[in-house]
A and B are shown apart, each in its own frame.
Chain A
Amino acid sequence: MTEEEIHDAIRKLREFATVQEMQWVLDEVDEAIALGVPETRTLRQTTNRQGLTTYEDITEPDALPLLERRRGRRTGRSSDFIRRRPMTPQEQAQLLVQAFNRVLADIDAVAAGSLEALDPTTLSDYIDPDSETSFPIPQVGSISFVPDEGSTAPAISIDVIRASQRRAEVASILSEIDAEIDS
């Protein structure tokens, strides 16, 4: 994909997120993009006669001219620094796809797992068969989260067993988009 095509894909993915009321995902992705990608670089510190300190990147010494490498070995004042570089457009697009996968596939899987964990059939596997006092575990119909006094958080409800086939389909489409961006 050319850089222009990637920018176009990012715009379309963001539009999709807005329609799906996932502005909060875009906000978190934007925050991550603003932070950049952390990487370790080896910098050589030199101070000139005027007291001005400069840092020279010698992370890949082979890329330096031979004379430079020798000078670096002689002065020897280098340290590892963690710095953040801006994300490339491709990385930004892939981060968006990854975030959508978390929200649309992974969280659904967790939601389904919540109800499965409370399912009496599942739980009965954990009951000691010799136990005389255990009685039937009640079936859970739904799990919902509703705001309490003073809370403005929106209510959510996990009221149906999530369709695993749909989760797989979403994950598959997102994987294809990721591959397309990578091409």
Chain B
Amino acid sequence: VSATTTDRPDVEAYLAAVRDELADLRPNERDDLLAEVEASLHDAAEESDAPIAARLGPPADFAAELRAAAGLAPDTAPPSSPRRDRLATAWRSPRTASLKRVLVELAPIWWVARAYVVVALVAWAFDVDWSITAPFVPTVGIGGPGSAGTGLLLLAIAVALSVAHGVRERRRGRPGTLSVAANVFLALAALPLGGDLVERASNRAPTSVYVESPPIPGLALDGVQVENIYPYSREGRLMLDVLLYDQNGVPLNVRPEDGDPSRRVLQAADGTDLFNAFPIRFFEAGTATVAKPGAAPAIRWSPVVTPPLKRSPKR
């Protein structure tokens, strides 16, 4: 092909169009023809500034005339786009053939991958949990939440089946249409799945699990129920009927709702029951007396040495 250069874009465009029209010819045949045309069109263009298409007609007609005069078969093939033609040529090229061989060698990797895709899809469809320790493994049925055992077993079975299927297909030569369709489907499904896995791996579950339990009713200290409160003065004397309030002035009412008749509930002048009086005391059965008002659990007592606070004179 000559090293023609031109400042006539219309000539270049025309040549490109003619080349496309001749896409079905053998490459060397086409190049020979086009080399002749190219040089001549540039010669012609030098003599006239008129647009080349106006003088020569549509590129398709030009190509047909060229083809007929050169004694080459008219393009009877269904109008195939030059791009498709180029693709077909590339598909038959030796480089593509060696690539295809490599891909066939690597196919077992896909057999394993598609088995995983199938299991993951099923896990998705049934919305099962994924293992906490191994975020890529769905947990199935037994084994408890977060356990990878059954999921791994299922994966192993799926991989074995998939590889067996792949080997069988390979022996048979050509894969069935259904098989091809299934593989394409799985390959497409693998895309969103892959994204999900990457996300799953990046915010991998913490190794320790916090179990959210319902809040403990009443008073609690560090999650342990406080049944009763025994207030002592700094002198070490158990105080009775101490009313406790929180930082908002809300009485620390303990079990106001349980209606235990044996509980000694203090009463205010306005008639309200005081459930925040400590220690909570209980009457002897059937009476209104507390047997041992000073009873208290054993405490470790040591005299307080910090000087007592002084109330401000104002109050």
Do A and B come from the same complex?
no
